[in-house]
A and B are shown apart, each in its own frame.
Chain A
Amino acid sequence: MARRPILGVFDSANSAADAGDGLRRAGIPETDVDFLTDTPYPEGAFGEREEPHRLYIFPFIGALLGLTSGILLTSMTQVAYPMVTGGKPILSIPPMAVVCYEGTMLGAILFTVLGIIFESRLPKLKAGLYDTRITEGYIGVLVNTEETQHGEVETAFGQAGAVDIKRE
């Protein structure tokens, strides 16, 4: 049997959280449930699962690559144009430090942004089940589960006071 999404739309955060409790009681695994909101709620406010991520690795990789680029750029240009100015030795570190630093930070930031997009699973090319009322303050509870369980899901939604239930 295929897994299909079902979306409950709630007009208050508390009833959406109650729906979450109902789904847990109905034995729907936490990994199949998503709460769609128009603003961040504190983690755990809907009783939802924790979302592990590896974003912190990205800036380190980026910084390393950026630093390497910075060192290569500054050292290679110094060697390519070996002009001594003001008695500063060729390949001396202080003039390289600033550009290397900027390279490091640029690398770290670029990779962090890539990391954010990747870890957020964006861009999402195919639009999923969604309701535009969510950005009007409604809460969407999106359940992606076996079609056989949709009855139980609807019951849980109904008991919690869903204003609308949508299927694909």
Chain B
Amino acid sequence: MQEGRVLSTREINRDLLRSILDTPRWFWPVVTVLGLILLVAAIAIGIMVNRGLGVTGLNRPVAWGFFITNFVFWIGISHAGVMLSAILRLAKAEWRRPATRAAEVLTLFSLMTAMIMPIVHTGRPWRILYWVFPYDFARGIWPNIRTPLVWDPSAILTYLTSSTLFVIIALVPDFAVLRDHTTGIAHRVYSVLAMGWEGNARQWKLQIVAGVLLSALILPVFVSVHSIVSWDFGMAAAVKSWHSTVFAPYFVVGAVHSGVSAVAFALILLRWCYGWQDYIRHEHIDALGRLLIVVATGWFYFLVMEILFGMYGREADELMVRQTQFTYWPYNFWFILFVITTYFIPVALWLSRAWRRNLWIMSIACISVNIGMWLERFLIIVPGLINKQLFTFVWADYRPSIFEYIIIGSTFALVTLLMLLFSRVFPLVPLYDVKEGDVLRTQVQIGRRTVPATFRED
């Protein structure tokens, strides 16, 4: 599957370094707009910190609302990086080459954004310190160090550290290219970052082995992260519909579903912004579309398991939560919208080869998935909480306030801004990976047909 033409090294350098060596005209205006959105969000957070969480729609018993939904959502998006980069690298899928870096970087920024959400959610962020360093314990207030909530920071920090290192290691050869193409301060900075890389056989061999080894090591971390996020809910027997054994794989597959869709959309945007038609080609988006059919169907299976076994127990309080999800306004509307946008619309679009190769349709499908996946997290968290539980004697509905909408909206601006700034200083498509693809590219003649082929070392 190789549709593009073979490009010279000079062309590849010129095209892929364009975002760094030249500044497009739209760049600073877009950055300014995104910055303004973040400023508004910062003011909203400031007011919220000053006046307390009462300005949000959170209440008793709905202590977890939009912020935690958004936290789970961004953790989900972060699963695309490793999914694409590591699994496809291990599977030696040739079409992965232009997509890996953007996916990995999206992982980093969405993880960072996700980490902000629980901090904002505390309302008094500095109080996290009391939890981390329990100064109060002389008064008998002890932290519950065995709560599943402790697992989150350990998993997310591990994932963030690993993904950052993964990106940096793969960037070293590209730093060398930038070192050789810049002057002045930029040259000095890139020289330090390139660590004296010269591209000898030993360095390349280790780069390749490192890619495979780190992929294999990060994969189990990637699976653990969203599992652990799911266990924030799953370990609690009190909130009905949360205590389901399938939550871990269900969340992981869902995260891959939303993450890969987000990467596909990001690639389409990058292609459009930087004119990378020769690199991010229709065949790549097509391949992502086919992969997504499988992922989406796997996700749907887990969804069915989750719902079916929720009702299998025939416990009245669990059935009540399901009834809320399926029949009570507005949750019934959100539920139908969620299932349609997450599965039926995108998969119907992906089934056609022509539509998979139409970037507009692919964009719609990928955005649709992410609308649905956001709703999924909301529908897991809120209906479970608004129903009366065994030991609660107050219960209420949840209506998010304008503060929550602003803060949630700004996280999308934050990730976009960080991606743009990254693309301004580092290449978002790995140069050496694309060049390697061209080196290994060959053809096999069968009768009158020329079939594209690849050299393989094993």
Please give the residue numbers on chain A whose beta carbons come within 8 Å of chain B beta carbons, in ascending order. Answer: 13, 34-43, 46, 48-49, 51, 53, 55-56, 59, 74, 77-78, 81, 83, 85, 88, 92, 95, 98-99, 101-103, 105-106, 108-110, 112-113, 116-117, 119-128, 130, 132, 134-137, 140, 142
Contacts and interface: CB of A to CB of B under 8 A. Distances in A.
Contacts of A78: 145-146
A120 to B, nearest CB: 5
Give the size range of B's interface with the partner: 35 or more
Most buried by B among A35, A36, A108, A120: A120
A51 B8 contact: no
Contacts of B165: 109-110, 113
A106 B436 CA distance: 30
A13 B439 CA distance: 10
- Top 4 A-B pairs ranked by shortest CB distance? A137-B9, A124-B196, A123-B195, A39-B435
B146 A112 contact: no
Contacts of A123: 195-196
Interface in B143-188: 143-148, 150-151, 154-155, 157-158, 161-162, 165, 169, 172-173, 176-177, 180-181
B412 interface: no
Nearest to A117: B195
24 contacts: A34-B200, A34-B202, A36-B199, A36-B200, A39-B435, A41-B204, A42-B439, A43-B201, A49-B201, A53-B206, A55-B213, A78-B145, A88-B146, A109-B221, A112-B213, A112-B214, A113-B214, A116-B169, A116-B209, A120-B206, A122-B197, A127-B196, A134-B180, A136-B13
B155 A43 contact: no
B201 to A, nearest CB: 5
A21 to B, nearest CB: 16
A53 to B, nearest CB: 6
Interface string B210-234: 1001100110110010001001000
Interface of B: 8-10, 13, 134, 137, 142-148, 150-151, 154-155, 157-158, 161-162, 165, 169, 172-173, 176-177, 180-181, 195-210, 213-214, 217-218, 220-221, 224, 228, 231, 431-432, 435-436, 439-440, 455, 457
Contacts of A112: 210, 213-214, 217
Contacts of A102: 151, 154-155, 158, 221, 224
Given A51-B202, A88-B146, A109-B218, A40 B432 contact: yes
Contact of A42 (B144, B161, B457): B457
Nearest to A73: B154
Contacts of B455: 42
Contacts of B210: 55, 112-113, 116
Contacts of A92: 146
B151 A99 contact: yes
A135 B177 contact: yes
Contact of B439 (A39, A134, A136): A39
A98 B217 contact: no
